[in-house]
Amino acid sequence: MVENLASSGVISKEELSRLPGVPSQERLKKGPVAVIECAEQIPCNPCETACPKGAIQVGEDINSLPVLDEAKCTGCGLCIPACPGLAIFVVDVTFSETEALLQIPHEFLPLPQKGGIVNCLDREGKVVSLGKIIKVVNPKSYDRTPVVTVAIPKEFAQDIRAITQGEENGNDSYLRKER
Amino acid sequence: MEYELAIVGAGPAGLSASIEAAKAGVKVAVIDENAKPGGQLFKQIHKFFGSKEHRAGVRGIDIGAQLLNEAKDSGVDILLNTTVWGIFDNVLAVHSSNKIQRLEAQRILIATGASENTLAFPGWTLPGVLGAGAAQTMVNLHRVAIGDRVLMVGSGNVGLIVSYQLMQAGAEVVAVVEFLPQIGGYWVHASKITRLGIPILTSHTIKEVTGDGKVEVATVGKVDSNYQIVSGTERNFDVDAVCIAVGLSPAAELAWMCGCEFMYIPELGGHVPVYNEDMETTVPGVYVAGDVAGVEEAATAMIDGAIAGLAAAESLGYLDHNEYEDLKRGKRVSREVFELSRFRFRRMAKERFANKEGRLKQWSKT
Amino acid sequence: MRIIDHPILGRIEPERTIRIEVDGKMIEALEGEPIAAALVANSMRLFRFTKKYNEPRGIFCAIGRCTDCVMVVNGIPNTRTCVTQVEEGMKIETQYGSGSIR
């Protein structure tokens, strides 16, 4: 049961640990790996098709939850823009002594720049730390779902799932102009 | 004007039907009252679910463009800015450019989609209170902002998706309010917005909206197990827009008019025209597909539209019966994935059609 | 306000701007858009007042079904502004009650 998720939209750590798309602690310690936070049986399988290593299995009944083969997964991140629910992330806790690298989908303007400092939010939308943008990829094949790589404090590697620069919403957004 | 198949509505169901029928050789017209075809697809800027054959991972806007091109390439006539205001036997009464004309058709497909439901509460008529679909139209289609700070009422897929899209367009969504104790839409859609800081307040409802000639304050309260607002739990949000996402109902006026039988099936959006597995209603030669036949989604609209187009083609003699049955079976199998798990209720709801008396064929097991 | 850039839809393609008159005031509109969009883009959201209680109304469904958005357009009342395209020099007025044909 995923009661917390169903009533709030926020999946609990306990609910997450039971998902077949979430890698084990041992695998996480070895390097970059996909974390598929998909907890509901809905008809959907683009993640399976997107993985070049065959590390994601949904199967014939496309309502099945995706299963991650952590041995096959290299953390390449191609599954991130493929997921229509934007529910896949790549986590690398081996980046440095104190930092982890997080790859997330980010479909907002302004797109962050390499080297920029951003606010990092947890699943409840609470700002838990700052982060530094390491890379932003937005090729045509991603169909307008840019993937941002951000360096974050290692202790938040399993919490941070969104970033904001504080410019995306509000009166001074360059998205809009008075006419 | 004369056509073999006239399709009312150029959304995913109508366009899919036109492609199948035209490919089989049928002379098809698709008629739409809007200036642009595509139905709801051109507001859906997010990637769709399903599998590759359902065009999963493709954005609704691009699926719309694909369908439109396929229809045009197949030789379908698309009549825009044209309203079908009545169906009289095999004659469609159409209105276009201040002229009224007759369009004769041997087969008719009603694919007019669904309209947004509404919710009445004190202040609901103030400028600034609008449907979630309306907000989506203004923001994604017309590219104008409907507000800076928005409250969303309803946590079904429309409420969740439009909240996300309002954020993408630069607005701030202050909260999503949901009457029931659990979220109505997909949990991944919910997580996408909670991690941006938008709280989803389940077991809450909107109490009233106030303001001087426009929305200024929205008051929300927690509900108890009898769905009554608990006094003292009221919270005010300073907003300039309130979006209402409380479901859709089939826009089935034309089906009522030409005498189709209906059944009341709340799970499918209310009164739905009864149809069989060939998408034909109780009026011979009149078919339905898409949200007008039961509110589901774009993928199912495309499949049902395709079946209707094939069925019309077969009944007009353009398709051999066995070939049609094979194609239909294939389509129904691919549709099944949208009637499992959380969507099992759709299949169960439709099985009620099979109990309808009359010349309707029974629904066969796939 | 117009959403001139967007993460999925991209930048607005430059459209021809035209001028329309709303309650005597000239505003800019984009060719091809419905009247309601031009008004909302210019921060105008009050389109009419109801007959009996004189209550303010604006857009509600935005697809031409509810008729909450009607205004007097070129003298013709009850024109659905959300599905009627702007034209150069169009005259739009706030509608009071059911309006009258002049």
Judged against a pLDDT cut of 90, whether residue B154 lies above it is answered with yes
Question: Which residue type occupies A174?
Answer: Y
B63 falls in which pLDDT band (50, 70, 90)? very high
Cross-chain residue pair C8–A177, CB shorter than 8 Å? no
Cross-chain residue pair C56–B133, CB shorter than 8 Å? no
Of residues B352, B365, B337, the one with CA closest to residue B275: B352
**Residue of chain B nearest C3, judged by CA positions:** B143
Query: Which of the two residues, B351 and A19, has the higher pLDDT score?
Result: A19
- B118-123, long-range: CB < 8 A, 24+ apart: B118/B244, B118/B246, B118/C60, B119/B153, B119/B206, B119/B244, B119/B246, B121/B206, B121/B207, B121/B208, B121/B209, B122/B207, B122/B208, B122/B209, B122/B210, B123/B208, B123/B209, B123/B210, B123/B211, B123/B215
Cross-chain residue pair C63–B133, CB shorter than 8 Å? yes
Per-residue tokens: C17: 């701007």
Please tell me which chains touch B, using 3 or more CB pairs under 8 Å as the contact test.
Answer: A, C
**CB contact A172 to C (< 8 Å):** no
| Continuous segment of H or E residues that includes residue B12 | helix B12-24
Cross-chain residue pair A179–C6, CB shorter than 8 Å? no
Judged against a pLDDT cut of 70, whether residue B362 lies above it is answered with no
* Domains of chain C by start residue, with CATH: 5-96 (3.10.20.440)
Interacting residues of B322 by C-beta distance below 8 A, sequence separation 6+: none
Of residues B291, B248, B65, the one with CA closest to residue B157: B248
Write out pLDDT tens, residues B167-221. Answer: 999 999 999 999 999 999 999 999 999 999 999 999 999 999 999 999 999 999 9
**Residue of chain A nearest B62, judged by CA positions:** A143
Chain C residues near residue A108 by CB distance under 8 angstroms: 7
| Continuous segment of H or E residues that includes residue A179 | none
Write out pLDDT tens, residues A24-83. Answer: 999 999 999 999 999 999 999 999 999 999 999 999 999 999 999 999 999 999 999 999
A91 falls in which pLDDT band (50, 70, 90)? very high
Write out pLDDT tens, residues C34-80. Answer: 999 999 999 999 999 999 999 999 999 999 989 999 999 999 999 99
Q: What is the mean pLDDT of chain A?
A: 92
B366 falls in which pLDDT band (50, 70, 90)? very low
Chain B residues near residue A7 by CB distance under 8 angstroms: 181-183, 202
Judged against a pLDDT cut of 70, whether residue A104 lies above it is answered with yes
Judged against a pLDDT cut of 80, whether residue B71 lies above it is answered with yes
B348 falls in which pLDDT band (50, 70, 90)? confident
Distance from CA of C50 to the nearest CA of B (A): 10
pLDDT of residue B355: 61
In angstroms, how far is CA B132 from the centroid of its own chain? Answer: 13
Q: How many CB atoms lie within 10 A of CB A118?
A: 22
Per-residue tokens: B59: 């954005």
Q: A 143-162 residues with CB below 8 A of B?
A: 143-145, 161-162
Phi, psi of B229 (to 5 degrees): -65, 130
pLDDT of residue B340: 85
Cross-chain residue pair B146–C3, CB shorter than 8 Å? no
**CB contact A167 to B (< 8 Å):** no
pTM: 0.94
CB B16 within 8 A of CB B296: no
Write out pLDDT tens, residues A108-123. Answer: 999 999 999 999 999 9
Cross-chain residue pair A177–C1, CB shorter than 8 Å? yes
Strands C17-22 and C25-30: antiparallel
Q: Is the peptide bond prior to B181 cis by the omega test (within 30 degrees of 0)?
A: no
Cross-chain residue pair B130–C83, CB shorter than 8 Å? no
Of residues B133, B1, B5, the one with CA closest to residue B71: B5
Please tell me which chains touch A, using 3 or more CB pairs under 8 Å as the contact test.
Answer: B, C
pLDDT of residue B14: 98
Write out pLDDT tens, residues A152-175. Answer: 999 999 999 999 986 655 444 445
Cross-chain residue pair A46–B200, CB shorter than 8 Å? no
Interacting residues of B95 by C-beta distance below 8 A, sequence separation 6+: B82, B83, B85, B101
Strands C17-22 and C91-93: parallel
**CB contact A111 to C (< 8 Å):** yes
pLDDT of residue B344: 87
Chain C residues near residue B170 by CB distance under 8 angstroms: 3
Residue that has been written with the tokens 């549709």 in this structure:
B335
Chain C residues near residue B130 by CB distance under 8 angstroms: 58-62
Give chain C's largest Cα–Cα span.
46
Share of chain A above pLDDT 70, in %: 91
pLDDT of residue B342: 83
Interacting residues of A122 by C-beta distance below 8 A, sequence separation 6+: A128, A156, A159, A160, A161, B195
Residue that has been written with the tokens 């357009």 in this structure:
C73
Per-residue tokens: B294: 């039961």
Cross-chain residue pair B197–A126, CB shorter than 8 Å? yes
Cα separations in angstroms, C56 against B285, B336, C64, C73: 45, 47, 18, 18
Write out pLDDT tens, residues B157-175. Answer: 999 999 999 999 999 999 9
- How big is the CA angle at A116 (ends A47 and C11), to the nearest 5 degrees? 65
Q: How many CB atoms lie within 10 A of CB C25?
A: 10
Judged against a pLDDT cut of 90, whether residue A143 lies above it is answered with yes
Share of chain C above pLDDT 90, in %: 87
Q: What is the mean pLDDT of chain B?
A: 93
pLDDT of residue A178: 47
- For B89-124, give the DSSP string: TTEEEEEETTEEEEEEEEEEEE---EEE-----TTT
CB A170 within 8 A of CB A164: no
Write out pLDDT tens, residues B313-322. Answer: 999 999 999 9
Write out pLDDT tens, residues B31-48. Answer: 999 888 999 998 999 999
Radius of gyration for chain B, computed over Cα atoms and rounded to the nearest angstrom? 21
**Residue of chain A nearest C11, judged by CA positions:** A175
Strands B114-116 and B248-250: antiparallel
Cross-chain residue pair A8–B194, CB shorter than 8 Å? yes
Judged against a pLDDT cut of 50, whether residue A179 lies above it is answered with no
State in Å, rounded, how far the first CA of chain B is from the last one.
39
Chain A residues near residue C3 by CB distance under 8 angstroms: 175-176
- For B338-349, give the DSSP string: GGSGGGHHHHHH
From the list C33, C45, C60, the residue facing B134 with the nearest CB is C60
Write out pLDDT tens, residues C22-36. Answer: 999 999 999 999 999
Coil, strand or helix at B305: helix
B256 falls in which pLDDT band (50, 70, 90)? very high
